Structure 1
């Protein structure tokens, strides 16, 4: 058998220079097709013509170019998308904002950092959202400054940058954001504190279990299981046990999960009571938590749901019983 021929992975899609000539056509529909063809090559040499198309007179061509640039990376891609982010046509700017989140090259931060202080709140929020994934230390200053922005969407993205950087010196800023007037900002800040094995962070998360917005309480219940330490498990467990009486089932579910992570034996009686929850997902979560804690005192309760009507509950209860027997 003859060997397989070696082929150029780009040859089936045409020559980039030839395809780029379609961008000079008078018909915007032809230019848009040229953009699509250039994107299909996946050839880095397609970035300069796609960047040129991002400034095309026709908004549909610009939008397609912004979307297509999301398949590439690097500083030239970032510069083109940063320019498209300020496009007067919002559909183009929105496409650029989505493509910017795909960037992984740290050099993409150079054109984005100045946009964190742009006059348009949409641009500020989109720039911060893109910077979050790049994890640039230089983004910390603009992100902290964004916490004072009048727009909640910008503040929430600033919190996201700070949380991704996981810098201890930013803890006070994140803790302050847990008291923001906007629920989404508070929720993002509470979730962002989960990385910190620090008493003040755990206290702020615990306080959020009393937030008026259930989504913030849900995030706090989950974050406590991640931020809790062996030393702080008792304090975290106290508020998590209380959270099992929350009126919202999502909060109770995350509290059960966190109690399992913390392996808090003192929580066993309250978690056992959750085996009687009406929702099968909560009974399953309670059984899983009891399996993680692995306290012999849970055996009778787990045996009681080993034949639960719900198959997931039965499976989890039997897994938990096996953990107790190990």
Structure 2
């Protein structure tokens, strides 16, 4: 048996394409791989013909390789596969659909959002999100009332990527959605604006029942940069989940919230090195001379990353 040669010439399209008609599914699947390896646009019609192959392993391979062909035609093929009866094929097609960047593909994807299957509707919105296609806005806003939380979350992602001030009421309303995943997307989405109404909605999310939503809210507030968030973020330093406390520390540092310096310094005594490091970083951003002694107490911290951050913070204070 000869050794595998990664530079072996698998042939041109005319030589490979006939293998798609072979009786053996394994041969057909390898033909799909070989066609994709040519990276030639002329193989696309052959790959699209294989979308209807009778074997799921072949269709799965097609769903994977079509992500490399960022065209409207490839999007159409993936739209067929995302409704495949085989769940693995459908998931691969949904993942590939989300990789497309050609805005012209939006027209091919948009019909998916009206499909009977919640999975297909969600995949459609996920594919539309990165395209930032205004044509999808109406359908996305309507789908924020969908019965399925995954669909609502993906639709909200479409709205969020467009970053339109006119959608603020819908985004704010979504921070109160029944689904935690939807609420998390909503509070992240609101970070594109510094309007007080948006900041207030995200501050309120710091009290959410889900720690993931609280963490997302803290991170978003760091990007919004509104001083009205300081009190809520300080309260979040006592959250039961360290992930939330860490995000609150980071946000307070970005806000340079000097009134919170004492509460931040208290977390230098945390058992978790990651929290001590984040507290030191926040104090460095705030650069309040009153915290110098607290930082000096950790200049020989057991964790090297903490020591490094403490030294940086002290240079910021001067």
TM bucket (normalised to shorter chain) is over 0.9
**Deviating runs (4+, > 4 A) in structure 1?**
none
Aligned to 2:146, what secondary structure does the other structure show? coil
- Whether 1:202 aligns to 2:202 is no
Aligned residue among 28, 44, 47 for 2:44: 47
Aligned length: 312
Deviation at 1:11, TM superposition (A): 9.7
The residue that corresponds to 2:301 in the other structure is: 308
Deviation at 1:13, TM superposition (A): 4.0
Cα distance in 2, alignment partners of residues 56 and 77 from structure 1: 16
The residue that corresponds to 1:256 in the other structure is: 249
Aligned residue among 127, 131, 143 for 1:130: 127
Aligned to 2:130, what secondary structure does the other structure show? helix
Deviation at 1:117, TM superposition (A): 1.2
The residue that corresponds to 2:272 in the other structure is: 279
Cα distance in 1, alignment partners of residues 80 and 316 from structure 2: 57
- Whether 1:266 aligns to 2:263 is no
RMSD: 1.3
Cα distance in 1, alignment partners of residues 140 and 193 from structure 2: 18
The residue that corresponds to 1:142 in the other structure is: 139
Aligned residue among 204, 210, 218 for 2:215: 218
- Deviations, residues 183-218 of structure 1 (Å, cap 9, x unaligned): 111111111111111111100000000011111111
Which runs of 5 or more structure 1 residues have no equivalent in the other structure?
1-9
Cα distance in 2, alignment partners of residues 239 and 205 from structure 1: 10
TM-score by length of 2: 0.95
Cα distance in 2, alignment partners of residues 281 and 215 from structure 1: 18
- Whether 1:19 aligns to 2:16 is yes
TM-score by length of 1: 0.93
- Whether 1:290 aligns to 2:283 is yes
Deviation at 1:12, TM superposition (A): 3.6
